[in-house]
Amino acid sequence: MSIPISLIQSLPKTDLHCHLDGSLRLETLWELAERRSIELGAGSIEELRAMLTPRTGANLGEYVEMFEPAISVLQDAEALRRVAYELAEDAARENIRYLEVRYSPILHARRGLSLPEIVDPVLQGLRDAELKLGMVSGVILCGIRTISPEVSLELARFAVSYRKKGVVGFDLAGAEKDYPAKDHVKAFYEILNNNINVTVHAGEDFGAPSIHQAIHYCGAHR
């Protein structure tokens, strides 16, 4: 017996693994790029959709590259706030009651924004959506395996400082081969010593073949 999509949509749900820069509306991505004169490598929204559709058998590296168009437009406060709000709005349409949004602030600092200037707009967009839509949300800040462990430690310390402002956890993401999580051990100790929740992307493209998706060591709940 098939379950009607309408029933699935009506059920209250949680989303504990939602990437901010992987959840833009295509129309918003297109509009933000046009306003900022950013070249996306596509001549239309239809071409953009095709460009951002993973091919069958794509590896993790190819998949991660598809985040670049979104990251390129999310380099200012207005874009970050808008995308966070629209993400929560789209989630609410699916009756998601609790939403955890993760992203790496360091990827949005290309134009010199500070960590508060990158994180505050996302939190504001989510709070605005909460007030209007009645949902609850939180932010998980991600360190990146391929970026300096010192940066992960900086992000971990920032997560601790924002624990009462809407940041609910810390994560480590990125390519695994040749970039072991142990290199970022100082960041993990910073998080655990301050009793902050932690999740880790693991086994997605390297390691035990039985692990296909991120391992969540504990949920990140406000």
> What amino acid positions are annotated as catalytic residues?
204
How many CB atoms are located within 10 Å of the residue 222 CB?
Answer: 14
3-state SS string for 24-75: CCHHHHHHHHHHCCCCCCCCCHHHHHHHCCCCCCCCHHHHHHCCHHHHHHCC
Both tokens of residue 108? 């949005």
Q: Is 126 in contact with 166 (CB distance < 8 Å)?
A: yes
Q: How many residues does the chain have?
A: 222
- Cα dihedral 84→116→148→69 (10° resolution): 30
Q: Give every CB contact of residue 93 below 8 A, 6+ residues apart in sequence.
A: none
Report the alpha-carbon distance of residue 38 to residue 32 in Å, rounded: 8
Q: Give every CB contact of residue 95 below 8 A, 6+ residues apart in sequence.
A: 9, 10, 11, 12, 13
